[in-house]
């Protein structure tokens, strides 16, 4: 039987991992929708409205799952980690409070108008509602990443009798790792949404959808992915340098550097061995890690030996990092290649479309892998230097934590199956409906298949 601490960790990790998938899509997809709607207002081309109409439904579904799985989190801060709020609640609390007040209400308040209000308000108000929802989702990323970054690199507080008290709110919010983590996550969201839009559009084209909308959305999504992939690599590099400065033990685990060394190699692959404090089966590029991290081929990288008993478990951080970077490179290659092909031939061969379909949810995996790097890399601390995971744990009976964990896992498996199935069902249905010629001017399109009341 696992202990309460381990079960609480698995449960919290399962909940937050499942939850983050959906906001990762909606944060950026809302901006795609705003762009579609804006273009429609400017040009009155029906194709923009069709793109909007299709993607707003996927947005609504994704957003709903994000909202309801997010409610879980607000309860579990207290149930799973009671000492977290007791120790740093004075800092975490207001940041969470501002997220609810400024972001959640903003998005939820205007979502109704965005989804169902198009015939009840003017075009301008509807576009504005779409914009406000997009701002709301981005604001929520701002606050929650401020809190997460503060847990990684805390500052602007003082400890009194074992409790953190705020001293400087500006320093708390704009803590050293925050700008990098925020940019990294926002661009990750952009890439996730771009690959989703590209993948589902490619799916429609593969299934013989000959309409303008999927071609247009494919092109836009690939353009966005082409721009964001190199940008993300650049931001990721800066984020890494920031981590080297503030959490060098995390970098040591990411790079699998057991002993401080000069001219450290970049490990493309290896199997870290925590017991023997070494790596097996290394495939390495000499001096490359030092070059990337210190911009000097002989730069010194601190090894895990300098953080005895105070560094994260190496293997999960090491592998998660390689999954994230590997996927990032793959996304770069596919985005650039297919955008170039599209520019050259104005269409994509089936095998490229199939590859894009396969990559539809690649952003999810890369994002999760990235979060595992940064969150497992924070261990054994919950708040670096202030509170360890062990000290924050709850004393609820392990049976209860285990039982609810199983309930959540079953629920998430069902939801994930239903979600993926529904997204592709909607794409399939979109091929059958919208059967109007491209010259037809702006009209609300109601297909015979879709007479049912649609929420």
Partner 1 sequence: MFEANTLAVIFVSLMGLSILLYAILDGYDLGVGILLPLDQKDDSDTMIASIGPFWDANETWLVLAVGLLLIAFPAAHSFIFKELYLPTAVLLISLVLRGVAFDFRAKAAFSHKPTWNKVFKAGSLLAALSQGYMLGMYVMGFEGTLAAYSFSILSAFGVAAAYSYIGACWLIMKTEGELQKQAVLWAQKSGLICFIGVVAVSLVNPLINPEVYAKWFTWPNTLFILPLPLMCFTLFIFSHIQLKQLPKENDKGCWRPFVAAVVIFTLCFFGLAFSFFPYIVPNTLTIWETAAAPESLSFLLWGTIIVVPVIFSYTAFSYRVFWGKVQELRYH
Question: Which residues between 341 and 400 bind partner 1 (CB under 8 A)?
Answer: 394-396, 400
Asked if residue 23 lies in contact with residue 136, where contact means CB atoms within 8 angstroms, the answer is: no
Q: Give the per-residue contact string, 407-436, with partner 1 (x = CB under 8 A; - = no).
A: xx--x---x--x--xx--xx----------
72 vs 80, 205, 266, 319, 450, CA distance in Å? 11, 38, 40, 29, 33
Q: How far is the CB of 203 from partner 1 (least distance, A)?
A: 16
Q: How far is the CB of 338 from partner 1 (least distance, A)?
A: 28
Which residue, 90 or 223, is less far from partner 1 as judged by CB? 90
Q: How far is the CB of 435 from partner 1 (least distance, A)?
A: 16
Is residue 75 a contact point for partner 1 (CB under 8 A)? yes
Q: How far is the CB of 226 from partner 1 (least distance, A)?
A: 30
Is residue 45 a contact point for partner 1 (CB under 8 A)? no
Q: Which residue's structure tokens are 């995971």?
A: 389
- E strands, 54-171, where? 157-160, 163-166
Which residue, 61 or 270, is less far from partner 1 as judged by CB? 61
Size, binding site for partner 1 by CB under 8 A: 77
- Find out whether the peptide bond into 62 is cis, omega within 30 degrees of 0: no
What does the chain come to in residues?
455
Which residue, 100 or 271, is less far from partner 1 as judged by CB? 100
Is residue 53 a contact point for partner 1 (CB under 8 A)? yes
Strand-pairing partners, residue 267, are 284
Radius of gyration of the chain (CA): 23
Is residue 69 a contact point for partner 1 (CB under 8 A)? yes
152 vs 87, 181, 201, 238, 319, CA distance in Å? 15, 10, 38, 16, 20
**Residues in 166-185 that interact with partner 1 by CB under 8 A:** 166, 169
Number of neighbouring beta carbons within 10 Å of residue 167: 12
**Distance in angstroms (rounded) separating the CA atoms of residues 391 and 400:** 20
Q: How far is the CB of 98 from partner 1 (least distance, A)?
A: 6
**Residues in 109-168 that interact with partner 1 by CB under 8 A:** 109-113, 115-121, 163, 165-166
431 vs 352, 354, 422, 441, CA distance in Å? 20, 17, 14, 19
Q: Give the per-residue contact string, 434-453, with partner 1 (x = CB under 8 A; - = no).
A: ----------xxx-----xx
**Residues in 78-97 that interact with partner 1 by CB under 8 A:** 78-79, 82, 85-86, 89-91, 93-94, 96-97
Q: How far is the CB of 443 from partner 1 (least distance, A)?
A: 10
Of the candidates 10, 13, 72, 336, which one interacts with partner 1 according to CB under 8 A?
72
Which residue, 56 or 264, is less far from partner 1 as judged by CB? 56
The long-range contacts involving 102-109, CB below 8 angstroms and separated by at least 24 positions, are 102/136, 102/139, 102/143, 103/136, 103/137, 103/139, 103/140, 103/142, 103/143, 104/136, 104/140, 106/132, 106/133, 106/135, 106/136, 106/139, 107/63, 107/132, 107/133, 107/136, 107/137, 107/140, 108/67, 108/136
Which residue, 69 or 138, is less far from partner 1 as judged by CB? 69
Q: What are phi and psi of 383, to 5 degrees?
A: -120, 115
Is residue 197 a contact point for partner 1 (CB under 8 A)? no
Which residue, 163 or 297, is less far from partner 1 as judged by CB? 163
Is residue 60 a contact point for partner 1 (CB under 8 A)? yes
Which residue, 296 or 454, is less far from partner 1 as judged by CB? 454
């Amino acid at each position: 039987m696992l202990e309460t601490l381990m079960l609480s960790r698995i449960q919290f990790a399962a909940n937050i991992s499942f939850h983050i998938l959906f906001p990762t899509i909606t944060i950026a997809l809302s901006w795609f929708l705003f762009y579609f709607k804006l273009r429609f207002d400017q040009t009155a081309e029906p194709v923009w409205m069709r793109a909007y109409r299709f993607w707003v439904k996927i947005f609504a579904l994704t957003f709903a799952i994000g909202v309801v799985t997010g409610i879980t989190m607000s309860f579990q801060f207290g149930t799973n980690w009671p000492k977290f709020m007791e120790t740093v609640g004075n800092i975490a609390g207001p940041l969470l409070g501002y997220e609810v007040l400024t972001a959640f209400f903003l998005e939820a308040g205007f979502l109704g108008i965005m989804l169902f209000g198009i015939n009840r308000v003017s075009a301008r108000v509807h576009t504005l509602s779409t914009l406000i929802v997009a701002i709301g989702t981005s604001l929520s990323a701002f606050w929650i990443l401020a809190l997460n970054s503060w847990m990684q690199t805390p500052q602007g507080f003082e400890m009194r009798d074992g409790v953190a008290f705020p001293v400087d709110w500006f320093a708390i919010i704009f803590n050293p790792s925050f700008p990098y983590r925020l940019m990294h996550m926002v661009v990750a969201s952009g890439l996730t949404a771009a690959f989703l839009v590209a993948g589902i559009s490619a799916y429609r084209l593969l299934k013989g959808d000959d309409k303008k909308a999927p071609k247009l959305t494919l092109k836009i999504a690939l353009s966005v992915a082409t721009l964001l992939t190199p940008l993300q690599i650049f931001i990721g590099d800066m984020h890494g340098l920031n981590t080297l400065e503030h959490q060098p033990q995390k970098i040591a685990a990411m790079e699998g550097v057991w002993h401080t060394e000069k001219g450290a190699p970049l490990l493309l692959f290896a199997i870290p061995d925590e017991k023997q404090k070494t790596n097996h089966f290394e495939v390495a590029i000499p001096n490359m890690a030092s070059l990337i991290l210190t911009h000097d081929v002989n730069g010194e990288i601190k090894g895990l030996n300098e953080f005895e008993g105070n560094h994260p478990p190496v293997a999960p951080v090491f592998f998660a990092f390689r999954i994230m970077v590997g996927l990032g490179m793959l996304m770069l290659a596919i985005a650039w290649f297919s955008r170039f092909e599209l520019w050259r031939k104005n269409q994509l061969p089936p095998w490229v479309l199939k590859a894009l379909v396969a990559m539809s949810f690649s952003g999810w995996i890369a994002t999760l892998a990235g979060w595992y790097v940064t969150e497992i890399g924070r261990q054994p601390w919950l708040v670096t230097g202030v509170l360890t995971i062990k000290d924050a744990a709850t004393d609820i009976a392990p049976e209860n934590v285990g039982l609810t964990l199983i309930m959540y896992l079953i629920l998430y498996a069902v939801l994930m199956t239903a979600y993926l199935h529904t997204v592709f069902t909607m794409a399939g249905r979109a091929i059958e409906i919208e059967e109007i010629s491209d010259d037809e001017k702006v009209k609300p399109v109601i297909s015979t298949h879709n007479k049912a009341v649609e929420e």
